[in-house]
Amino acid sequence: MGLPETASEDFFASMANASHILQPSIVVRLLKDNGINKVKLFDADSWTVNALAGSGIEVMVGIPNKDLQRYNSYKKAKHWVEKNVTKHLYDGGVDIRYVAVGNEPFLTSYNGSFLNTTFPALSNIQKALDEAGHGDKIKATIPLQCRCLRVCHQQAIRRTVPLYQNPDFPLDFASLMEVGIQQKTRASSYTNVFDANHDTLVWALRKAGVPDLKILVGEIGWPTDGDKNANLKLARRFYDGLLKKLADGKGTPLRPGRLDVYLFGLIDENMKSVAPGSFERHWGIFFFDGKPKFPMDFSGKGLDKFLEPAKGVIYLEPKWVVLNRDAVKNMTQVEPFVNYACSNSDCTSLGYGSSCNNLDQNGNVSYAFNMYFQMQNQDVEACNFNGMGR
């Protein structure tokens, strides 16, 4: 989603992988209340996209990796554009600017699954946009992970996330606060990982013969839980440094000028895959209910103020489940129920270095039971745990 002009023009949102999703209309109001003027989506869900009509917010819609094979057929690509782009472009409709074809489809973990389907899908989607008369305004692109330096002659969108999991990586260098740590190259000296990472891509584009290819940073952020270095303090520090950098408009040593950046992400997603790590569910700058996590100033001036919270959020009743210690003779009885609760809810805050890491055994069990209960909409069948919950 887009930041106010003083800092940058771009921001990023995901409104999907959660047990309790805020109404799109509430999210759109949240964006507007905070002066956010651009949003990147992972798909083109009509419920979400329709809510953006008339908002003035510029939108990037997406095609999931699993659908890339389908759009190797031009006929199907044309139908997708008609249904998910043209349909929304009426007077007062949705201001669609980009179509993201896949999302990091060349990751090594995919074992080349999308290598032969991504570029044909990109070509067909752009051709369909052109033939529909949208090609001058709306561009198709492929979001790439930082390690992928192959580019197509459209534009490059890249994902930048901090290297907080590497115990030897200097957090000051990752924070963008420019506190004196330098990484020198033959031509430049870098004081933060963003510039160094960004200019690695710039250099690769030069070597590939496309030095002026537009770069959009599709994801950059810092998680707030699920790892010892994923917390509110470090996240705030990172964003303070990033927003200050975006506001000064100086760019990077090899690409001076304003940067196009989408922050990752808007709201926490408690059902997102944790394969990369428990932090994956905690990228939002807002909690799951749209409350801001920490002070954040989009102007880049570092003012100590909170963003506007989501309005109109409806909450469940104030009730919860805890461990019934009287029903437990041996704590080994509880283990399978805790495993079940955590496997079907979100216990990432209990992990090493996470926000609830210091709970005792009873607290851990109560947390797991209650999280399952809440994510099951407080269903009476989700609170008993064979008598061990109350």
What is the rounded CA–CA span in Å between residue 278 and residue 163?
15
DSSP letters for 307-336: PPPPSS-----S----B-GGG-SSGGGTHH
Cβ neighbours for 27, distance < 8 A, ≥ 6 positions apart? 13, 15, 51, 266, 267, 290, 310
136-153 burial, b at 16+ Cβ within 10 Å, e below that, comes to eebbbbbbbbbebbebbe
Return the number of other C-beta atoms located less than 10 Å from residue 158's C-beta.
23
Cβ neighbours for 299, distance < 8 A, ≥ 6 positions apart? 4, 6, 7, 243, 247
Q: Are 106 and 115 in contact (CB under 8 A)?
A: yes
* Sign of the alpha-carbon torsion through 271, 275, 281, 284: negative
Catalytically active residues, by annotation: 104, 219
